[in-house]
Amino acid sequence: MSILVVGSVALDSVQTPFGKVDNVLGGSATYFSVAASLYAPVRVVGVVGTDFSPAHVDFLRSRNVDLAGLQTVEGQTFRWSGRYGHDLNTAETLETRLNVFATFRPQLPQSYRQTPLVFLANIDPDLQLDVLRQIKHPRLVALDTMNFWIKGKKDALTEVLRKVDIVLVNEAEARQYAGTSNLLQATHEILALGPRAVIVKKGEYGAALYSKGDSAALSFFFAPAYPLAEIKDPTGAGDTFAGGFLGYLAKTGAVDARAIRRAIIHGSVVASFTVEDFSMDRLRNLTWPEVAGRYEEFKRFTYFEKVED
Ligand code: AMP
């Protein structure tokens, strides 16, 4: 199955305790596509300015990413700059410049309109809604967002939350959206809007699934994060988690509860590679055997014996 993604295609400037990069390839749709294309064909909806290097376009094409829905317009590409301190779980945004995204209105190519899996990556919720209106009968729609949109566009975000199946957010975003520090209450508030599941990303502490169901055993699932000796740059961890997650569902064609649990492990595996280097550098040479090998390691991390009577 193919996956359609709408989100930012960006030039990022990032500082971490381990180094600094300027104007490197970034963006929620870009990170997502590079990860998900390890599993399945990806179609991108977005916009870049005339300053966007053709080398980035060539790289995405080399990953079998369909760019028919990526417009190039006069002006500057979206730019984000951020900083991480020793707590690598939280990014501090220094600057967000929407640039060509400020006036962008997506117009989906005909070839995109029947895509079965849709990822509304982190971007203006009005653009997420615009894309959803143009898609015919998707099998599954997932959404990501961030503090910038929760603060600035909560009403539009709530409208789109009512229309999606799975929500992926980090811990702080779930709390901020619901206005409560209790994560279970926060996820229940989001589930009450309609989605069947909320996946909460907790950085180096893993990811948790909260879904509708009567008992915790059926509605809760938890995956650890891969223990890494060296993390250089956490940027893109969330988007590539989503890429591994939806990529796996697209590859297998299943979207049931068991597939969703396995997909969460795939998300955790791909995200663990992303953070090993700056920008997309680790993803550029990531191979399928490496992904499969780490998936097996995750199985061993979380296996335990039955209690003896
Ligand atoms: P994450 O996976 O959460 O680390 O996402 C990092 C990416 O999100 C960066 O490459 C940024 O370019 C992008 N980004 C940051 N702020 C925004 C925003 N307000 N809207 C869309 N994308 C953003």
| The overall pTM is greater than 0.95 | yes
Q: Which long-range contacts (CB under 8 A, 24 or more apart) does 293-302 make?
A: 294/226, 294/269, 295/265, 295/266, 295/269, 297/226, 298/223, 298/224, 298/226, 298/265, 298/268, 298/269, 299/265, 301/224, 302/223, 302/224
Residue 80 Cβ inside 6 Å of ligand 1? The answer reads yes
Residue 12 Cβ inside 6 Å of ligand 1? The answer reads yes
Task: Kindly give the distance from the C-alpha atom of residue 33 to the centroid of ligand 1, in angstroms, as a whole number.
Answer: 14
Residue 239 Cβ inside 6 Å of ligand 1? The answer reads yes
pLDDT number for residue 218: 73
Residues composing the chain: 309
The per-residue pLDDT of the chain, averaged, comes to 96
Task: Kindly give the distance from the C-alpha atom of residue 27 to the centroid of ligand 1, in angstroms, as a whole number.
Answer: 5
Please tell me the total count of domains within the chain. Answer: 1
pLDDT number for residue 54: 98
Residue 130 Cβ inside 6 Å of ligand 1? The answer reads no
User: How many Å apart are CA 282 and CA 264, to the nearest integer?
Assistant: 20
The verdict on residue 53 lying in a domain is yes
Pocket mutation for ligand 1, best pick of 32, 45, 122 (most atoms within 8 Å of C-beta): 122
The verdict on residue 26 lying in a domain is yes
Residue 237 Cβ inside 6 Å of ligand 1? The answer reads yes
Max Cα distance, the chain (Å): 70
User: How many Å apart are CA 294 and CA 177, to the nearest integer?
Assistant: 33
* pLDDT at 216 exceeding the cut of 80: no
* pLDDT at 214 exceeding the cut of 80: no
Mean pLDDT within 70-98: 95
The verdict on residue 97 lying in a domain is yes
Please report, for the domain that includes residue 137, its CATH number: 3.40.1190.20
The verdict on residue 69 lying in a domain is yes
164-191 confidence digits (pLDDT tens): 999 999 999 999 999 999 999 999 999 9
User: How many Å apart are CA 298 and CA 308, to the nearest integer?
Assistant: 24
Look at ligand 1, atom 11, and give the residue with the nearest C-alpha: 27
Confidence of residue 278 (pLDDT cuts 50, 70, 90): very high
Residue 33 Cβ inside 6 Å of ligand 1? The answer reads no
Confidence of residue 16 (pLDDT cuts 50, 70, 90): very high
Q: Indicate if the alpha-carbon torsion angle 273, 279, 281, 287 is positive or negative.
A: positive
Residue 145 Cβ inside 6 Å of ligand 1? The answer reads no
The verdict on residue 261 lying in a domain is yes
The verdict on residue 264 lying in a domain is yes
Look at ligand 1, atom 6, and give the residue with the nearest C-alpha: 236
Residue 233 Cβ inside 6 Å of ligand 1? The answer reads no
Give me the domain span that covers residue 79: 3-165+228-302
The verdict on residue 143 lying in a domain is yes
Shortest-distance atom of ligand 1 to CA 240:
2
The verdict on residue 212 lying in a domain is no
Residue 241 Cβ inside 6 Å of ligand 1? The answer reads no
Q: Which of 157, 159, 147, 165 is nearest to 93 (CA)?
A: 147
Look at ligand 1, atom 1, and give the residue with the nearest C-alpha: 236
Task: Kindly give the distance from the C-alpha atom of residue 8 to the centroid of ligand 1, in angstroms, as a whole number.
Answer: 7
User: How many Å apart are CA 244 and CA 202, to the nearest integer?
Assistant: 16
